[in-house]
Structure 1
Amino acid sequence: MDMNQYLSMFIDESNDHLQSLNEKMMELEANPEDLSIVQVIFRSAHTLKGMAATMGYEDLASLTHQMENVLDLVRNSKLRMQDFIFDTLFKSLDALESMVENITGGGDGKADVSTIVASLQAIVRGDIPTAGGTSTNDTVSAAAVNATNAPILLDEFQFSVLEQSLQEGHKVMYVEVTIRKDCQLKAVRSYMVFDLLERSGEVVKSFPSVQDIEQEKFDQSFSLYYITQKEAEEIQSMVLNLSEIEKVNAVALDSESLQQLGQETTAATLEAPVQEVPTVSPTQAAPVQSKDEAAKPAVRSGTNSAPSRTIRVDIERLDVLMNLFSELLIDRVRLEQLASEVHNQDLTETVEHMSRVSADLQNIVMKLRMVPVDTVFNRFPRMVRDLAKSLDKKVDLIVTGAETELDRTVIDEIGDPLVHLLRNAVDHGVESIADRIAAGKPETGTINLRAFHSGNHVFIEIEEDGAGISRDKVLKSALKKGVVTSEQAVNMTDSEVYQLLFAPGFSTAAVISDISGRGVGLDVVKSKISSLGGHVTIYSTLGKGTNFSVQLPLTLSIIAAMLIRLGCEKFAIPLSSIVETGIVKQSQIRTIHGNKMLEFRNTHIPLVSLSRIFSIPDYDESNEEETEIVVVRKGERLIALAVQDFIGQNEIVIKNLGKYLPEIQGISGATILGDGQVALIIDPNAFIK
């Protein structure tokens, strides 16, 4: 059967399951006693294992299987979650993600995960290192019995045989044998182990069954119950003398542990029909959510029994749809213009109806491109958790507004800047535990990651309750690095000082670490956000914390714009940047230090002549008594652009200038108007810079 046709589905659903596993593991770490979360994690891992096995990715399925063994003990209350177990499971998830990435890139999904597997098997055996470095395997428990693939369920007869053997003075052992990975004939090697053991005792029960072992239907290890007169160390030594045997673990059971085992295996037998989860094919796979999860506002997928009403659509198809609609929008504007010139009632009515339908179509197409920021936010809790642990800090990340939607173009680009800002918040913002206690704060720092709509923009804020930004420290570092002069530093406002953090190469870190201190990061953040048509603002209070506020446009493909005329040329200015329009007289224009300034709302702002910047030959506003102006904003800064005439507002389709034209300062793209003319789109940010 050709599985390539299911590959893209497998990759998509594997990524969904891995993300779900990461999120649920974070929840479990916060509530380690909540077994309902463990059930969700177990089912998701089980589904992923089934999908991987179906597709033939044995390494991925095998590692997930080892994770299942640990989770099975936890969900059956035979093992308590500890830091070492959490760390090992998170490492397992990282390894699984690497395998899926390898498969996505055309690889075979293989990886060396022997260290992680050994840790998982040690957890199942009960060899869990404690804070003092000792092992918790002081007594033989169910963890030792469930050491390999699954609990070996004994029937009443087998249990009574083992119990009677103990009473008669025989030794009852639980033996786990691991065969080397490079072994070519596992079944033969297993037969040799059984043959050797049966010379000195009796094998009562094995897992997998003897038939499965003979047909090589097992991983690298198998386990069994064994009655003998020999000591555990002697049995281990005997089996290890066989070639291609990697490891042997023999545990002697006493009557008490056997009695405990009997109760647990009986309970497991009774519960098995309820807990059994069938192997799910890639087309059936779907994570199961708990009631608590379903109650949350930002749920990734519903848990209703109703069939799914969503489909996966290739991004390229959406791009083609958007381009086709863009052409339709241009033709619609042209038709409206022609209808207004012809004055034909029937044509006018038809065009008006077409305009209404195309407006509805536009809304649908735009919404198809909108993606919840949850797709970016969902990887941050895990990142913050690992980073805080490496810095020996306690940090809570609170995410709100994850359902807020952004254009896919923005979503694809915004991830890296937010990673830099969050790392900066954990490293520089939140203080160490000792410093927080000394300052009278809770030892756990809080970082709020928020997203919300405001007008035609989306705001993403990262706010922490750390030490805040020291103005003096920033200025001192800026002066030392030559970013500003001492004369400039005297008159700088707090917001201007904070903006120095975005200067290339700027850093206030005293020590360079693998996390920060090299002066690379915040300058990348600013340049990336600016390229998306947004900007970032810093608000900080010393001793209380800092807020990085990122403002982004809702969409980058179709925007509302003000069309203007300069001589024979037409230009478009995005409405989102315009504060207001107006008319000024020449007498109101001042010249200060050679620059034209204009009084605007009790302040003076620069007046920029677009005709001079773009060398428009047939227009010069200085020859007119009155000049139309457009006041535009970038952050807190304002400038006025001098124009000749206002044509009106319109929705325009942004077209890239491509490689045919060099990058032009002040121009962000072009659009095609209804009459077929090309109008350049002005980038107000470039003038304010």
Structure 2
Amino acid sequence: MELSQYLEVFIEESKENLQTCNEQLLELEKNPEDLAIVNEIFRSAHTLKGMSATMGYEDLANLTHKMENVLDAIRNEKIKVTPEILDVVFKSVDDLEAMVFSIADGGDGKRNVTEVVAMLQAIEKGESVLPSASNEVAATAAPDMKVSMQYEAFEQTVIQQSFEQEFNCFEITVSLREDCLLKAARVYMVFEVLGKLGEVIKSHPTVDQLEEEQFDHSFVIAVVSKEDARVIEESIRKVSEVEKVSIFELTSHHLQINLNDTAPERKEIADKGQEEVQTPKPANNPAKQTSPTSKTIRVNIERLDVLMNLFEELVIDRGRLEQISKDLNNPELNETVERMTRISGDLQNIILNMRMVPVETVFNRFPRMVRQLARDLNKKIELEIIGAETELDRTVIDEIGDPLVHLIRNALDHGIEMPDIRVKNGKPEQGTVKLKAYHSGNHVFIELEDDGAGINKQRVLEKAIQKGIVSEDIADTLSDRQIYELILASGFSTAEQISDISGRGVGLDVVKATIESLGGSITIDSTVGHGSLFSIQLPLTLSIISVMLVEIEAEKYAIPLSSIIETAIVKKEEIMNAHNQRVIDFRGKVVPLLFLEDVFEVPKDSKEEDLYSVVIVRKGEKMAGLVVDSFIGQQEIVLKSLGNYLNDVFAISGATILGDGQVALIVDCNALIK
């Protein structure tokens, strides 16, 4: 049977089953006596095990089998659910996810899971186990445990001869810090240390892969040495950037088990897997069969991208036809073009809807993350998710995950107070973080609200002045919201000490930059003692946008409608000067003017105008007036990138081809408003 054709389905199904495990484990933690939840997790794990075995991913199937044994003991009431046991099961799911993502990236799905297997086996036997003591667990693993690496015949011979000469043989798992920059250099230093203590037999990944940094943050080395495990561990820990060292001692018994792998058990797994893969959904996911008539297919996002590109070309040609129809003024041609415009509009909606993905695909990883971070910080925090069904374009979804992770970590670390402080201030011991998504017009809003300590305005101002972000004169003129938004400035941080939780001193400027690169914006509101609200505004899609076309001399520019408040005609005498800047009074507010012919260095004639055409644009609470020669009108256009060679052109976000064949540059209003 050719299995490669099922690989994509296997990866998607595996991700869904692991997500179910994550969600149900969080529910189980709240209701540890509810065996129905355990059964749901068991079904997902069982399906994953069968599919993995059928597809030939034995490591994945074996770890799932060990986790399944623990779940089986829980549902048969042989083991009681505790936070410590759930920590180990969560760690198993993490390893399974890493294996599945490895397969998705073209890898073999192999991973060193010695520690977590030892802990699962200890739980199964009724022994007490703490995840924090994983080093000790790995070093004293159950005697029937398999080694994590497969050894060739000559390597087995070397190990056997080493035992005969009274050498020790260890499998050492070394984990580097996640922010380690020169991983290959650290690997070299570890090998150098081990070379002085004994002889390296094997590594996983291979030495070549390690040198090319083709690994995440952990690697496994087999070493023969006269030294004991403690000496080896202490020596490796002296290498900088090494976060964790786990040592597992090999014996002849372990090697024998590794060689004579339990074939009957593997065959049984494979047999069960064959049954399940044929009909995975009906047998194991009854909850998802809400609509028996609903039929869906999985479509690769690349195909949708191609479809979108073809449709974009159609929109450009539609614009050209509209222009020709206007010039010729032929009734029959006008009618045909109008009909084509309506149909292509409907087609556009269908294609955009096909690309829409619920934000829950991003949101569903946060409950697990909040649980773990709350435990790390010794805080009690509940995450409330509202509007997870809200849909966004897939390209936006792919980019928004990291900024949200950063904001949530920031809220947990800096926002929510410690339980004793909350009680002292008359608040509930448990803090709440709300993550909300909703549609409004052509935008999606994502809000992150916490009921924590809020933002200390004075402290933010002092830090901003100290860092040179604002001067003292400007600081006195800032509104509350503008002060809060100073925390988004590059290099800003009020943390007394750097922590791993909220970004190791990396400011929220990265979040702001990512959101603005998507054509969105972020605003902050806060009340000291009551909490903060971060609001992100994002466009529904990035490829086809509505713009106002304007003319500057012989050149045409497009200004996105999402940034425009209104257009106006301003008399020459209404323009004033303030701080070497030309400004106008717009509805009681002083609005600076930007002459786009100067910004873009458009060749111009020297005649003075008595009337100026102005487009009033906004970024958050800040406004500016863009002075142009004339307005052409509103139009839907296709946003095209300028390519790699022109990716840093100031205040230009892309270009489009108009109906008459001309190219119009698209103005980036966010870059123009400081």
TM-score range, shorter chain: 0.7 to 0.9
- Of 142, 160, 178 in structure 1, the residue corresponding to residue 144 of structure 2 is 178
Alignment of 1:59-208 (within 5 A): 59-129=59-129, 178=144, 180-181=146-147
Q: Quick one: which amino acid aligns to residue 38 of structure 1?
A: V
Q: Quick one: which amino acid aligns to residue 625 of structure 1?
A: D
- The answer to whether the 8 Å contact 2:118/2:145 transfers is no
Q: CA 1:30/1:279 → structure 2, altered by over 3 Å: closer, same or farther?
A: farther
Residue 284 (structure 1) aligned with residue 279 (structure 2): yes
Q: CA 1:443/1:604 → structure 2, altered by over 3 Å: closer, same or farther?
A: same
Render the CA deviation track for 1:523-561: whole Å, top value 9, x for unaligned: 110111111111111100000001111111111100111
Give the match for residue 39 of structure 1: 39
Q: 1:612 and 1:337 mapped to 2: Cα distance? A: 30
Give the match for residue 560 of structure 1: 546
Q: CA 1:388/1:333 → structure 2, altered by over 3 Å: closer, same or farther?
A: same
- When normalised by structure 1's length, the TM-score is 0.76
Larger radius of gyration: 1
Q: CA 1:111/1:660 → structure 2, altered by over 3 Å: closer, same or farther?
A: closer
- Of 382, 396, 421 in structure 1, the residue corresponding to residue 368 of structure 2 is 382
Moved more, 405-414 or 97-106: 97-106
Q: 2:360 and 2:573 mapped to 1: Cα distance? A: 53
- What is the percent sequence identity of the aligned residues? 57
- The answer to whether the 8 Å contact 1:505/1:518 transfers is no
Question: What SS class does the counterpart of residue 556 from structure 1 fall into?
Answer: coil
Question: What SS class does the counterpart of residue 286 from structure 1 fall into?
Answer: helix
- The answer to whether the 8 Å contact 1:17/1:287 transfers is no
- The answer to whether the 8 Å contact 1:318/1:369 transfers is yes
Q: Quick one: which amino acid aligns to residue 10 of structure 1?
A: F
- Of 587, 600, 611 in structure 2, the residue corresponding to residue 614 of structure 1 is 600
Q: CA 1:415/1:383 → structure 2, altered by over 3 Å: closer, same or farther?
A: same
Residue 580 (structure 1) aligned with residue 546 (structure 2): no
Give the match for residue 253 of structure 2: 244
Alignment of 1:450-465 (within 5 A): 450-465=436-451
Question: What SS class does the counterpart of residue 481 from structure 2 fall into?
Answer: helix
Give the match for residue 271 of structure 1: none
Q: 1:618 and 1:520 mapped to 2: Cα distance? A: 44
- The answer to whether the 8 Å contact 2:617/2:626 transfers is yes
Q: Quick one: which amino acid aligns to residue 17 of structure 2?
A: H
Q: CA 1:521/1:49 → structure 2, altered by over 3 Å: closer, same or farther?
A: farther
Q: CA 1:576/1:127 → structure 2, altered by over 3 Å: closer, same or farther?
A: same
Q: Quick one: which amino acid aligns to residue 648 of structure 1?
A: G
- The answer to whether the 8 Å contact 1:288/1:303 transfers is no
Question: What SS class does the counterpart of residue 592 from structure 2 fall into?
Answer: strand
Question: What SS class does the counterpart of residue 244 from structure 1 fall into?
Answer: helix
Q: 1:602 and 1:615 mapped to 2: Cα distance? A: 31
Render the CA deviation track for 1:147-192: whole Å, top value 9, x for unaligned: xxxxxxxxxxxxxxxxxxxxxxxxxxxxx983654899xxxxxxxx
Give the match for residue 258 of structure 1: none
Question: What SS class does the counterpart of residue 90 from structure 2 fall into?
Answer: helix
Q: 2:145 and 2:584 mapped to 1: Cα distance? A: 83
- The answer to whether the 8 Å contact 2:27/2:37 transfers is yes
Question: What SS class does the counterpart of residue 40 from structure 1 fall into?
Answer: helix
Alignment of 1:471-486 (within 5 A): 471-486=457-472
Render the CA deviation track for 1:430-470: whole Å, top value 9, x for unaligned: 00111111111111110000111112211111100001111
Q: CA 1:447/1:128 → structure 2, altered by over 3 Å: closer, same or farther?
A: same
Question: What SS class does the counterpart of residue 100 from structure 1 fall into?
Answer: helix
Give the match for residue 672 of structure 1: 657
Give the match for residue 184 of structure 2: none
- Of 492, 495, 502 in structure 2, the residue corresponding to residue 509 of structure 1 is 495
Residue 409 (structure 1) aligned with residue 395 (structure 2): yes
Q: Quick one: which amino acid aligns to residue 62 of structure 2?
A: S
Q: CA 1:566/1:289 → structure 2, altered by over 3 Å: closer, same or farther?
A: farther
Instruction: Give 1:567 shift.
Output: 1.4
Render the CA deviation track for 1:324-343: whole Å, top value 9, x for unaligned: 10111111111122122223
Instruction: Give 1:289 shift.
Output: 8.2
Q: 2:569 and 2:493 mapped to 1: Cα distance? A: 45
Question: What SS class does the counterpart of residue 97 from structure 1 fall into?
Answer: helix
Give the match for residue 193 of structure 1: none
How many residue pairs are counted as aligned between the two chains? 553
- The answer to whether the 8 Å contact 1:420/1:521 transfers is no
- Of 531, 536, 548 in structure 2, the residue corresponding to residue 545 of structure 1 is 531
Give the match for residue 142 of structure 1: none
Q: 1:285 and 1:337 mapped to 2: Cα distance? A: 54
Question: What SS class does the counterpart of residue 79 from structure 1 fall into?
Answer: coil
Question: What SS class does the counterpart of residue 59 from structure 2 fall into?
Answer: helix
- The answer to whether the 8 Å contact 1:585/1:625 transfers is yes
Instruction: Give 1:78 shift.
Output: 3.1
Give the match for residue 639 of structure 2: 654
Give the match for residue 517 of structure 2: 531
Instruction: Give 1:505 shift.
Output: 2.0
Q: CA 1:591/1:243 → structure 2, altered by over 3 Å: closer, same or farther?
A: closer
Question: What SS class does the counterpart of residue 623 from structure 1 fall into?
Answer: coil
Give the match for residue 355 of structure 2: 369
Render the CA deviation track for 1:352-397: whole Å, top value 9, x for unaligned: 2111111111111111121111111111111111111111111100
Question: What SS class does the counterpart of residue 497 from structure 2 fall into?
Answer: coil
Give the match for residue 231 of structure 1: none
Q: 2:118 and 2:507 mapped to 1: Cα distance? A: 37
Question: What SS class does the counterpart of residue 280 from structure 2 fall into?
Answer: coil
Q: Quick one: which amino acid aligns to residue 115 of structure 1?
A: E
Give the match for residue 496 of structure 1: 482
Instruction: Give 1:245 shift.
Output: 6.3
Q: 1:287 and 1:391 mapped to 2: Cα distance? A: 41
Give the match for residue 631 of structure 1: 616
Moved more, 117-126 or 545-554: 117-126
Instruction: Give 1:22 shift.
Output: 0.8
Question: What SS class does the counterpart of residue 612 from structure 1 fall into?
Answer: helix
- The answer to whether the 8 Å contact 2:49/2:273 transfers is no
Moved more, 405-414 or 483-492: 483-492
Residue 340 (structure 1) aligned with residue 326 (structure 2): yes
Q: 1:177 and 1:624 mapped to 2: Cα distance? A: 90
Q: 2:403 and 2:42 mapped to 1: Cα distance? A: 34
Question: What SS class does the counterpart of residue 550 from structure 1 fall into?
Answer: strand
Gaps of 5+ in 1: 134-175, 185-241, 249-276, 295-301
Give the match for residue 396 of structure 1: 382
Q: 2:106 and 2:393 mapped to 1: Cα distance? A: 29
- The answer to whether the 8 Å contact 1:47/1:279 transfers is no
Q: 1:289 and 1:639 mapped to 2: Cα distance? A: 58
- The answer to whether the 8 Å contact 2:498/2:505 transfers is no
Give the match for residue 685 of structure 1: 670
Instruction: Give 1:111 shift.
Output: 1.8
Q: 2:630 and 2:490 mapped to 1: Cα distance? A: 40
- The answer to whether the 8 Å contact 1:667/1:682 transfers is yes
Q: 1:518 and 1:177 mapped to 2: Cα distance? A: 41
Q: 1:403 and 1:464 mapped to 2: Cα distance? A: 21
Give the match for residue 2 of structure 1: 2
Q: Quick one: which amino acid aligns to residue 62 of structure 1?
A: N
Q: CA 1:533/1:288 → structure 2, altered by over 3 Å: closer, same or farther?
A: farther
Alignment of 1:249-328 (within 5 A): 280-282=275-277, 284-286=279-281, 302-304=288-290, 306=292, 309-328=295-314
Instruction: Give 1:247 shift.
Output: 12
Question: What SS class does the counterpart of residue 295 from structure 2 fall into?
Answer: coil
Q: Quick one: which amino acid aligns to residue 178 of structure 1?
A: D
Q: 1:482 and 1:673 mapped to 2: Cα distance? A: 44
Q: 2:642 and 2:150 mapped to 1: Cα distance? A: 60
Q: 1:674 and 1:305 mapped to 2: Cα distance? A: 45
Tell me the C-alpha RMSD between the 2 structures: 2.6
Gaps of 5+ in 2: 134-141, 152-250, 258-271
- The answer to whether the 8 Å contact 2:54/2:273 transfers is no
